[in-house]
Amino acid sequence: MSIQIKEVSKTFGSFQALKNINLDIQTGELVALLGPSGSGKTSLLRIIAGLEEADNGVILFGNEEMTHIRTTERKVGFVFQHYALFKHMTVFDNVAYGLKVRSKRERPSKKDIKRKVTELLSLVKLESFADRYPSQLSGGQRQRVALARALAVEPKVLLLDEPFGALDAKVRKELRRWLRRLHDEFHITSIFVTHDQEEALDVADRIVVMNEGRIEQIGSPEEVYEQPNSPFVYDFLGNVNVFHGRLENGKWRNGDQSDAEQQALAYVRPHDLVIEREKPTEDAVQARVMHVHAVGRTVHIELKEEGAERFLEAELPKEQYRELDLQTGETVFIRPNQLKVFIPADYSI
Amino acid sequence: MAGHISLQYGSKQVDKKTAREPLLVRILLITVALAFLFLFLLLPLAAIFIKAFEQGIGLYIASITDPDAVSAIKLTLLVVVLTVPLNALFGITAAWAITKFEFKGKSLLVTLIDLPFAISPVIAGLVFVLLFSTHGLFGDFLFQHDIKILFAVPGIVLATLFVTFPFVARELIPLMQAQGSAEEEASLTLGANGWKTFWLVTLPNIKWGLLYGVILCNARAVGEFGAVSVVSGHIRGLTNTMPLHIEILYNEYQFSAAFAVASLMSILAIVTLILKNIVEWKSGQHG
């Protein structure tokens, strides 16, 4: 089931949570809504589910208009950040709930419900936990129950609100891989909200980056990571170094911002910074090595730009680091391998 | 999540070793507490029963089977049967509205719910007199249609309703606030309508808090004196509740009879207390 969101806006009191959102989601896609808190991503998800109503705009599922259809009839699966399991029901009853509350005509027989629930519990690998209560499960297990419960009603759309936000790092990674596999198997159109860029890059087919109630960029993980269309997206997706400089005949020069007309900012990912001992060019940036983290395959190096009170971050493969034999406190030259220049709209940056 | 907010002291156990006071201080504190309890609670309670049986069990039974006493007991039970369910219903609706929706005048509603706690029961009674007496606001209308509210059962029920209505709502509002709406929302997305969601999700989640509120409401409905005294008219065998009946007996120097009926109310209070503790214990278990 494809989803179309047209010109959706939403305000809460005086706070405008969503500003004129347009978004098309294809059938079977797994889309991440990525943004900092307050960016409107959860509001958008809740509007798609019908848990909030948009002030204006239209929501379509396929060709069907859903804007004023109640949540109960939208046939969406919703997974909440804090699971929202029914605490007074067993795992079995939680998963069976969506089937049991159907009107007599549509309700499957007891036997069918049992078969379906058992099937779903084995899908989430919790067959032996059917008689437990949610309070007797770990966070990861609870979220799997919540997923099974959402899938029981065979939703046309699966909506997940920070599904792994409350879990610890290891379980989170495991569960998101598992969600990816689940999606590859069943192809339910899915939207999940996250503020974790790594999670979005890891799982989603497409990422919708949101900021202050607007969509900043829509694209595949590679696109938004490699070709961010705004400083915000650059900054939000991964670590970044910002160099202040100016544009000269289409070329960027570091430092010297005397001519405000040509002021420009260059964004460079830490792994695109090259550290050299010899001065490569006349205007190369000089920096002092402040700290070295050498744990893992890549070495993180913290530097301080000479003449400016700015810290820089570089990442080197371990072999290269050994070759360079960097010492804390020594002065080196850095050169960006790849950079992206943005002209600030606002000179006060 | 704990079933009842004010119970949480029970679950927060301080490490006994680190929080240990010197022996002398502990003995002193416990003695003071026990002495206070004995003087102000146990002694009066014992006095009620001693006084009630002072002139023999025969008089005790005669006092509580006296037609006026029986009618007072019946009236009190009738008042309870009418007010407690109504206030439970009101409490649930008010708590639901306050915790699940945003609307204008919400804080005013919360304040209004507390009103019966804030004003004296006597004034609460007088309000009904002002409204329903012959010279009151609805006096003419009631007289023309021959409806008796004041100095009759409806007046007593109304006054009791007024005095007891905060109990359930006050109990449920913090509980439902703490629980949030996520489970209800989950239920809606799973296709359950509002009614089913209430019965299958909301009610089981609030049942212990609700029961606790109902018990408190019940205790107050049985014992209410001030407001009921103003609106009842003290007609023996007709509009006397148990507390009013006790007052009349006492004023007529029938001490043993007064204390006999009082002992019945005390037993009711003790049963309520035990029930309350069971509910607290249960809600702690399920929390």
Q: Calculate how close chain A gets to B90, using CA atoms only, in Å.
A: 24
Domains located in chain A, CATH noted: 3-236 (3.40.50.300), 241-342 (2.40.50.100)
B196 in contact with A, Cβ within 8 Å: yes
pLDDT, tens only, A60-75 = 999 999 999 999 999 9
Q: Are residues B47 and B158 in the same domain?
A: no
Q: Are residues B158 and B172 in the same domain?
A: yes
DSSP B126-163: HHHHHHHSTTSTTHHHHHHTT---TTSHHHHHHHHHHH
Judged by DSSP in three states, B19 sits in coil
Task: List the one residue out of B228, B221, B223, B220 whose CA is nearest residue B126.
Answer: B228
Pseudo-torsion of CA A137, A138, A142, A145, nearest 10°? -60
User: Which of B17, B35, B52 is the C-terminal boundary of a domain?
Assistant: B52
Judged by DSSP in three states, A243 sits in strand
| Contact call for B205 and A77, based on CB within 8 A | no
Q: Are residues B76 and B21 in the same domain?
A: no
Distance CA A278, CA A335 (A): 11
Q: Are residues B234 and B251 in the same domain?
A: yes
ipTM surpasses 0.85: no
User: Can you give the pLDDT at residue B7?
Assistant: 40
From the CB of residue A180, how many other CB atoms can be counted at a distance below 10 Å? 15
One-letter identity of residue A258:
S
High-pLDDT (> 90) share of chain A, %: 52
Q: Which two tokens stand for residue B45?
A: 């309670």
Q: Are residues B26 and B145 in the same domain?
A: no
B11 in contact with A, Cβ within 8 Å: no
Q: Are residues B222 and B282 in the same domain?
A: yes
Q: Which residues of A touch B191 (CB under 8 A)?
A: 72-73, 75, 98, 101-102, 153
Smallest Cβ–Cβ distance between A86 and the set B1, B183, B191 belongs to: B183
List Cβ<8 Å contacts ≥24 apart for A45-48. A45/A159, A45/A161, A45/A191, A45/A193, A46/A161, A47/A8, A47/A10, A47/A18, A48/A3, A48/A5, A48/A76, A48/A157, A48/A159, A48/A191
DSSP A161-216: ESTTTTS-HHHHHHHHHHHHHHHHHH--EEEEEES-HHHHHHH-SEEEEEETTEEE
Q: Are residues B30 and B63 in the same domain?
A: no
**Checking phi first, is residue A97 left (phi over 0); if not, alpha (psi -120 to 50) or beta?**
alpha
Q: How far apart are the first and last CA of chain B?
A: 5
pLDDT, tens only, A194-226 = 999 989 999 999 999 999 999 999 999 999 988
Phi–psi pair at A335, nearest 5 degrees: -140, 130
Task: List the one residue out of A193, A195, A212, A209 whose CA is nearest residue A19.
Answer: A212
CA dist B173 → B96, B113, B168 (Å): 8, 11, 9
Q: Which residue of B has its CA nearest to A50?
A: B189
B278 in contact with A, Cβ within 8 Å: no
User: Given pLDDT bands bounded at 50, 70 and 90, which one contains residue A347?
Assistant: very low
User: Can you give the pLDDT at residue B1?
Assistant: 39
Distance CA B147, CA B156 (A): 14
Q: Are residues B22 and B121 in the same domain?
A: no
**CATH number of the domain enclosing B254:** 1.10.3720.10
Smallest Cβ–Cβ distance between A51 and the set B185, B191, B192 belongs to: B185
B183 in contact with A, Cβ within 8 Å: yes
By the 8 A CB rule, do A33 and A41 touch?
yes
pLDDT at B63 over 60: yes
Q: Are residues B45 and B67 in the same domain?
A: no
- A232-266 in b/e form (b: 16+ CB < 10 A) is bbbebbbebbebbbbbeeeebbbeeeeeeebbbbb
Residue B273 within a domain: yes
Q: Which residues of B touch A85 (CB under 8 A)?
A: 183, 186
Residue B2 within a domain: no
pLDDT, tens only, A16-60 = 999 999 999 999 999 999 999 989 999 999 999 999 999 999 999
pLDDT at B124 over 60: yes
Residue B23, burial from CB neighbour count under 10 angstroms (0-12, 13-18, 19+): exposed
| Contact call for A84 and B204, based on CB within 8 A | no
Q: Which residues of B touch A72 (CB under 8 A)?
A: 188, 191-193
Weakest-pLDDT range from B38-52, B137-151, B259-273: B137-151
Q: Are residues B194 and B262 in the same domain?
A: yes
User: Can you give the pLDDT at residue B6?
Assistant: 43
Q: Calculate how close chain B gets to A271, using CA atoms only, in Å.
A: 42
Number of structural domains in chain B: 2
| Contact call for A101 and B192, based on CB within 8 A | yes
B205 in contact with A, Cβ within 8 Å: yes
Smallest Cβ–Cβ distance between A153 and the set B190, B196, B201 belongs to: B190
pLDDT, tens only, A131-160 = 999 999 999 999 999 999 999 999 999 999
Residue B93 within a domain: yes
Bridge partners, residue A301, by sequence = A292, A314
Q: Which residues of A touch B1 (CB under 8 A)?
A: 87
Q: Calculate how close chain B gets to A304, using CA atoms only, in Å.
A: 47
Phi–psi pair at A75, nearest 5 degrees: 55, 50
Q: Are residues B72 and B114 in the same domain?
A: yes
Q: Calculate how close chain A gets to B226, using CA atoms only, in Å.
A: 41
User: Can you give the pLDDT at residue A43?
Assistant: 94
| Contact call for A150 and B190, based on CB within 8 A | yes
Distance CA A227, CA A233 (A): 9
Residue B105 within a domain: yes
| Contact call for B191 and A153, based on CB within 8 A | yes
pLDDT at A343 over 80: no
User: Can you give the pLDDT at residue B19?
Assistant: 64
B153 in contact with A, Cβ within 8 Å: no
Residue B3 within a domain: no
Q: Which residue of A has its CA nearest to B201?
A: A86
The mean pLDDT of chain B is 87
Bridge partners, residue A158, by sequence = A77, A190
Q: What residue spans of chain A are helical by DSSP H?
A: 41-49, 91-100, 110-123, 139-152, 169-186, 197-203, 221-226, 231-236, 318-324
Provide the residue count of chain A. Answer: 349
Q: Starting from the edge strand earliest in sequence, which strands make up the sheet with A3-12, in order?
A: A15-25, A3-12, A56-61, A64-65
Half-sphere exposure of B234 (CA within 13 A, CB side): 12
By a Cβ cutoff of 8 Å, what residues of chain A touch chain B?
A: 49, 51, 70-78, 80, 82, 84-88, 97-98, 101-102, 146, 149-150, 152-153
Q: Which residues of A touch B185 (CB under 8 A)?
A: 51, 71, 78, 80, 84
CB pairs under 8 A between A and B: 64
By the 8 A CB rule, do A187 and A28 touch?
yes
Q: Which residue of B has its CA nearest to A84?
A: B183
| Contact call for B186 and A71, based on CB within 8 A | no
Q: Which residues of B touch A78 (CB under 8 A)?
A: 185-186, 189
Q: Which residue of A has its CA nearest to B194?
A: A72
Q: Calculate how close chain A gets to B196, using CA atoms only, in Å.
A: 7
Q: Are residues B69 and B36 in the same domain?
A: no
User: Can you give the pLDDT at residue B225?
Assistant: 92
User: Which of B21, B36, B52 is the C-terminal boundary of a domain?
Assistant: B52
User: Can you give the pLDDT at residue B9?
Assistant: 43
Q: Calculate how close chain A gets to B184, using CA atoms only, in Å.
A: 8
B204 in contact with A, Cβ within 8 Å: yes
Phi–psi pair at B247, nearest 5 degrees: -60, -45
Query: Which domain covers residue B72, as residue numbers?
Result: 57-286
